[in-house]
Amino acid sequence: MHLICRFYAAEIAVGLFFLHSKGIIYRDLKLDNVMLEKNGHIKITDFGMCKEGIVGDATTKTFCGTPDYIAPEKIPQKRLGCGQTSNRDIQEHPFFRRIDWNKIENRQKHEASTENFDPQFLKLPLKLTMPDWMVLSNLRGDEFRSFTYYNPEYFNSIADESYV
């Protein structure tokens, strides 16, 4: 189990390293915002509370989220963490001693590899969830048109089809 935890922690760290290298501070890391791809790799989602342009000694003063989940560095009014060498400090931590960071960053696994999945999970019987056709028949896709990216071909296809 420790190997699996170490792998996923390293994948999250690589994602955060990348964001930090772009001057983006991710401020909503929680299980709900960490997704698992079909090939066992991590995707970080929900960038609504990110802060961009934070490089060097720049800080952010905005408060976001709920007080119950306030970032610990807000309480003592001083910065916590590793500073400018944080990536290296994390990568050299004994917990990650067996991690090949280059392989993690380059996602060097075959797409169909299941080695990162729990073996007990893979033994569970497949249970399909049938779509709710009543809900689907009422979707026109208008709620997504204000998104930064949407697939216009999808909207055209649902306009031409009947789901009932």
Are β-strands 34-36 and 42-44 bridged in parallel, bridged antiparallel, or unpaired? antiparallel
3-state secondary structure the chain: CHHHHHHHHHHHHHHHHHHHHCCEECCCCCHHHEEECCCCCEEECCCCCCEECCCCCCCCCCCCCCHHHCCHHHCCCCCCCCHHHHHHHHHCCHHHCCCCHHHHHHCCCCCCCCCCCCHHHHHCCCCCCCCCHHHHHHCCCHHHCCCCCCCHHHHHHHHHCCCC
The catalytic position among 28, 32, 46, 160 is 28
**Residue where the block lists tokens 């944080």:** 86
Catalytic residue at 28? yes
Q: Is 8 helix (H, G, I), strand (E, B) or coil?
A: helix
Residues identified as active-site:
28
